[in-house]
Structure 1
Amino acid sequence: MTSERDKRTQWLCKAALCAISASTSASVLAQSTVTLYGVLDEGINYTNNVGGHSQVAMASGFPHGSRWGLKGSEDLGGGTKAIFQLENGFDVDNGRAFQGGALFGRQAYMGLTGQRWGSVTLGRQYDSVVDYLAQTTAGGTWGGYMFAHPYDNDNLINTFRVNNTVKYTSPELGGVKFGGMYGLSDDTRFSNNRVFSAGAQYARNGLTLAAAYLQADNPSASSYGAINNGGDQNLPGSRLRIWGAGGTYETGKFQFGVSYARTEVTDPRSSAYVGDITPPSGTLGALRFDNIEANIKYQPARQYWFGAMYAYTRATFDATSGKTHPVYHSVGLMADYIFSKRTDIYVQTVYQHVGGDKTGSVLDAAYVVGAAGVASGQNQVMFRLGLRHFF
């Protein structure tokens, strides 16, 4: 016969075990991680023709934008996590912030993610063209800034990010991943400075295929809309459309890539890189760029690799005086030596030649993205020797 005292003892033991079990479960459920990370990319650039003069300059963040950031997650149970990422871009030359001086100008978002349904995130984020299509280009992967298509017209090197976004990214389904985002205007006119985009990617057995679309209505019209008129501008106009497709194939020590991207700007006014693009007389009603790129990367050993890119761009300059078609040829080469898991040294060069029709605007002069200014003629060459460190 169990005594009353024994019953109380048994009850207390069971209660203690339940409390320990609940505490352990809560600890597992509330498990969270926070990671500090960053990249320092610094180097010396030589440009043969900046307004008719050669230039040597120190510059930060070319293959990789210099940055530091925080990212983390909290396990909410059932395969669902709360996630966040805050990322600041800065200039190693002088310590100033990039992206118009924003504290977290590269990325700033939070959201939820699940293994079965994907993720939904809110904040300042990359668009679908960057998420999916850029990964098939040299500029969007190993080459960076200098390897952009003229004026980064297709935003494949992240000239602008998108504010006020709601973004969905699917889980991988048989090698397929897709997503889309909507950037609110925060304006009483719902479509004034809004952005929406969508994209998809297939990756399996060394083959990657991707496609994406973006539309921005009246971009850079305000400082609080989807595309900020301070630190985020590409080709301001009444409407910007970008779409394209591409692919890469990796076999052995080689990786090959091809891509096509079209950019259409209605009522264009300027470029973030070269300023006013309008003709000296009349008006410019529309501007279009058709970009075709082929690239190759060869890594014969773990310690070093080589890359090459050629891009052909045909522009349509639709002014009141008629349509003209300038043509841009861009050739890029890069070599990288890896000292360690975190540190490497690299050399890059890009040559651009502008041919075809004359527009009477600044677009007739060569300009390699990242140069201090446009050339005095149709050719420009830029070299860079850089050192990069990841942490």
Structure 2
Amino acid sequence: MLKFRSVAVALFCTGLITSFGAQASQVNIYGKIDASVLTGKTRHGAATVQLKSGFTAGSRWGIKGVEDLGNGYKVGFILEQGFTIDDGAEGGSNQAFNRESSLYLDGSFGRVTFGRLGTLGFAQSTGILRGAVFGVTHGASGWASGTTSLHFSRVDNAVAYSTPSFGNVSLHAMYSNGTNTDDSENKWSKNNHYYGLGALYRSKEASGSVIFEAMDYKNETGIKHNPLYHLTIGGYWQIGQIRPMAIYQYQWGEDRYKQHTAQV
């Protein structure tokens, strides 16, 4: 752990422009390396050996910082970058922190987070997905990747809010003003937007979530095109060393097929 004694927090309001930033007094550097060796042999074919990077969760390193402001308020940040261990390549092209880049404020009101975030039905600090038997990256891009491409992972230009826990239940909301870019020269209606609402239950023995998500897609003229919707319900129950899990998702969209997906 690296500790810095100085702290600076600023909040400036001028007209409709608000600036918020922080320097943390406690900073943690963390990481995870995920690698495996895969071997294969087909009939009449040669045996193959492959070093696979990111087979289950993906290699990453990151920096977390937090500062206690007093009176129950804390401000912090998370910067996390993915990489491939076999060749050292960055996880996202031209992205210094492709997995998460966020600034948050905690208080009695809950938590507000800004930046590049994982969606409610995905992962990272803002994800509340529960019950995914194979996690969210079991050798692919999402828990349902083997059966569908309708999966929301990370979005840029996002703001998320989570309430305090009331009887082990918290409510969550997220919005992205531009899932890949927030072009100041274009109208709001020409950006791709993400919307998410969810509820999370957490106790020592069990956890479950209900999540509704939507993403609208625009063409070059800013007209809505093929919006997508997800309803995801999942959870687990801890019984000693055993954790039964189950998850269900219904996906639908304009000019797209409707699909049910489940895992137990």
Q: TM-score range by the shorter chain?
A: 0.7 to 0.9
- Do structure 1's residue 120 and structure 2's residue 99 form an aligned pair? no
Matches within 5 A, 1:100-179: 100-114=93-107, 116-130=108-122, 131-133=127-129, 135-140=130-135, 144-145=138-139, 148-149=143-144, 150=146, 153=149, 155=151, 160-179=153-172
What is the alpha-carbon distance in structure 1 between the residues aligned to residue 34 and residue 24 of structure 2? 34
Letter aligned with residue 165 of structure 1: A
Matches within 5 A, 1:1-391: 32-46=25-39, 56-114=49-107, 116-130=108-122, 131-133=127-129, 135-140=130-135, 144-145=138-139, 148-149=143-144, 150=146, 153=149, 155=151, 160-185=153-178, 186-187=182-183, 188-191=186-189, 192-218=191-217, 238-266=226-254, 285-294=255-264
Q: Which runs of 5+ in 1 are unaligned?
A: 1-25, 223-236, 267-284, 295-391
Letter aligned with residue 216 of structure 1: M
Letter aligned with residue 71 of structure 1: K
What is the alpha-carbon distance in structure 2 between the residues aligned to residue 119 and residue 177 of structure 1? 11
1:201 match: secondary structure: strand
Alignment check: 8 A CA contact 1:153 1:289 kept: no
How far did residue 288 of structure 1 move? 3.1
Alignment check: 8 A CA contact 1:153 1:263 kept: no
2:121 match: secondary structure: helix
Number of residue pairs aligned between Structure 1 and Structure 2: 227
1:62-121 CA-to-partner distances (Å, cap 9, x unmatched) read 22210000011111111101110000000111111113341100000112112x221111
1:321-346 CA-to-partner distances (Å, cap 9, x unmatched) read xxxxxxxxxxxxxxxxxxxxxxxxxx
What is the alpha-carbon distance in structure 2 between the residues aligned to residue 240 and residue 47 of structure 1? 37
What is the alpha-carbon distance in structure 2 between the residues aligned to residue 105 and residue 39 of structure 1? 15
Higher relative CO (Cα under 8 Å, sequence separation at least 6) belongs to: 1
1:139-193 CA-to-partner distances (Å, cap 9, x unmatched) read 226x7335832256353xxx73110001112222211122111100224342431
What residue in structure 1 maps to residue 19 of structure 2?
A: none
How far did residue 264 of structure 1 move? 2.4
How far did residue 57 of structure 1 move? 2.3
How far did residue 55 of structure 1 move? 5.4
2:243 match: secondary structure: strand
Letter aligned with residue 190 of structure 1: W
2:93 match: secondary structure: helix
2:89 match: secondary structure: coil
Residues 48 and 190 (structure 1), Cα distance of their counterparts in 2 relative to 1, 3 Å cut: farther
How far did residue 127 of structure 1 move? 1.1
Residues 31 and 239 (structure 1), Cα distance of their counterparts in 2 relative to 1, 3 Å cut: closer
**Which of the pair has more CA radius of gyration?**
1
What residue in structure 2 maps to residue 14 of structure 1?
A: none
How high is the sequence identity, in percent, across the aligned residues? 29
1:32-73 CA-to-partner distances (Å, cap 9, x unmatched) read 210000000111234678xx9985422111222100000111
Moved beyond 6 Å, runs of 4+: none
CA RMSD between the two structures: 2.9
Letter aligned with residue 241 of structure 1: Y
1:251 match: secondary structure: coil
What is the alpha-carbon distance in structure 2 between the residues aligned to residue 48 and residue 260 of structure 1? 35
Of Structure 1 and Structure 2, the greater helix share is in 1
1:109 match: secondary structure: strand
What residue in structure 2 maps to residue 363 of structure 1?
A: none
What is the alpha-carbon distance in structure 1 between the residues aligned to residue 187 and residue 36 of structure 2? 44
TM-score of the pair, normalised by structure 1: 0.53
